[in-house]
């Protein structure tokens, strides 16, 4: 039986990713990427980043771990990994050269503050743009790697005894698992070296994101664990909101993606409590579906894949080629992202080869 709350929480989180990137693209808090803000003064709209960033990507990995457990109960490991490779690795590699090089074009313009690649051969220029177009696709690249690691980890426990033991954890232990969340953040490189791969590691955060993925697989895939979260969702959500409010009030203006910020105990507490609270809330109140929810369940992955192309292209043009006030720019970009991303997705999934390379949809 399909767990609609799981589907709903996933696509709602994806929509929040779209909103986050609208705000992020114009942030002035020193967060890597984007085109920069509108002056040096406070941009209170950036509070959206402080609200979302501590938990929305860890939550997606948690949900991916839960879904992986359910999928492997109905498929062989070989079949499952083959489908993961098509769905994750193909769009995260081949897809870069099919369409995401366009995103890379705008990213390289923003980074270099120039519209040309003077003196760079066309083939090399194309390769640079393709790699620079990775953007949010780091998520699916990480997820493919974690899927491979999961198959190896499963071999250590062929009778699933560890998985069964994890299902017996009570609410206190579920909260204390936040210590693993904190420990994962400590593995970031605190002082990344310029012109090194340190920044790239801190973006992908593989050792950190592996933790919620495995917790999803081993712990939160259990029905009785989900029921515990459902029972306590109100105090969990209240505690998360309280800790988040203290975090934001005391840190607004800082780079909320820096290793020092992310590894702080308060950030980790807020992020973990929000993950628990949202799973419990959706299990309690949103374990149902509708035609719109069905559509989003089927297509939210595709929206995630294509949305940043809209953010980068429209966002760049609005900032550099218009004299519109910031409020108008935010509104237009938000409307564009939420309207054009579904249209672009619907177009791409109807084009042979492109739907396979960009979206991981079977050729047939």
Q: What is the pLDDT of residues 231-248, one digit of tens each?
A: 999 999 999 999 999 999
What letters, b where the CB count within 10 A reaches 16 and e where it falls short, cover 100-130? bbebbbbbbbbeeeeeebeeeeeeebbbbbb
Neighbouring residues of 59: CB distance < 8 A, sequence distance ≥ 6: 9, 13, 212, 274, 275, 278, 279
pLDDT in tens, 92-119: 999 999 999 999 999 887 766 555 566 7
Q: In sequence order, which residues have a C-beta less than 8 Å from that of residue 351 and are 6 or more positions away?
A: none
Q: Is 272 exposed, middle or buried (0-12, 13-18, 19+ CB in 10 A)?
A: buried
**Cα distances (angstroms) measured from residue 97 to each of 109, 141, 302:** 18, 15, 17
Taking each helix axis from N to C end, the angle separating 265-285 and 4-24, rounded to the nearest 10 degrees, works out to 140
pLDDT in tens, 288-312: 999 999 999 999 999 999 999 999 9
Give the Cα separation of 320 and 324 in Å (integer): 10
Q: 23-39, pLDDT tens digit by residue?
A: 999 999 888 888 989 98
Close Cβ partners of 42 (under 8 Å, ≥ 6 residues apart): 253
Going from the C-alpha of 286 to that of each of 18, 61, 63, the distances in angstroms are: 21, 20, 15
Categorize the per-residue pLDDT at 40 as very low, low, confident or very high, splitting at 50, 70 and 90: confident
Q: pTM score, two decimals? A: 0.96
């Amino acid at each position: 039986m399909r767990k609609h709350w799981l589907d709903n929480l996933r696509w709602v989180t994806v929509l929040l990713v779209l909103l986050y990137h609208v705000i992020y693209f114009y942030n002035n808090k020193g967060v890597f990427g984007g085109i920069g803000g509108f002056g040096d003064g406070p941009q209170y709209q950036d509070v959206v980043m402080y609200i979302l960033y501590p938990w929305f990507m860890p939550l997606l990995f948690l949900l991916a771990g839960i879904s992986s457990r359910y999928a492997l109960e109905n498929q062989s490991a070989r079949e499952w990994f083959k489908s993961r490779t098509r769905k994750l690795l193909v769009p995260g590699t081949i897809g870069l050269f099919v369409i995401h090089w366009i995103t890379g074009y705008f990213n390289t313009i923003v980074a270099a503050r120039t519209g040309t690649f003077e003196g760079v051969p066309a083939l090399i220029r194309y390769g640079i743009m393709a790699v620079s177009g990775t953007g949010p696709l780091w998520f699916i690249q990480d997820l493919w790697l974690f899927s491979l690691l999961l198959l190896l980890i499963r071999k250590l426990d062929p009778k699933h005894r560890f998985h069964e033991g994890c299902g017996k954890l009570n609410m206190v232990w579920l909260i204390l698992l936040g210590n693993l969340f904190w420990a994962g953040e400590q593995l970031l490189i605190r002082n990344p070296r310029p012109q090194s791969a340190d920044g790239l590691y801190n973006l992908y955060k593989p050792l950190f994101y592996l933790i919620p993925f495995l917790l999803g697989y081993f712990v939160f895939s259990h029905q009785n664990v989900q029921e515990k979260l459902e029972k306590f969702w109100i105090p969990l959500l209240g505690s998360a909101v309280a800790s988040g409010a203290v975090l934001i009030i005391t840190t607004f203006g800082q780079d909320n993606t820096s290793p020092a910020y992310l590894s702080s105990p308060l950030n980790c507490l807020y992020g973990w409590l929000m993950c628990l609270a949202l799973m419990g809330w959706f299990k309690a109140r949103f374990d149902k579906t509708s035609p719109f929810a069905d559509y989003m369940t089927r297509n939210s992955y595709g929206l995630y894949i294509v949305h940043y192309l809209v953010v980068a292209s429209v966002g760049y043009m609005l900032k550099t080629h218009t004299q519109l006030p910031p409020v108008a720019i935010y509104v237009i970009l938000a409307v564009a992202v939420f309207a054009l991303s579904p249209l672009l997705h619907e177009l791409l999934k109807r084009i042979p080869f492109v739907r396979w390379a960009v979206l991981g949809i079977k050729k047939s």
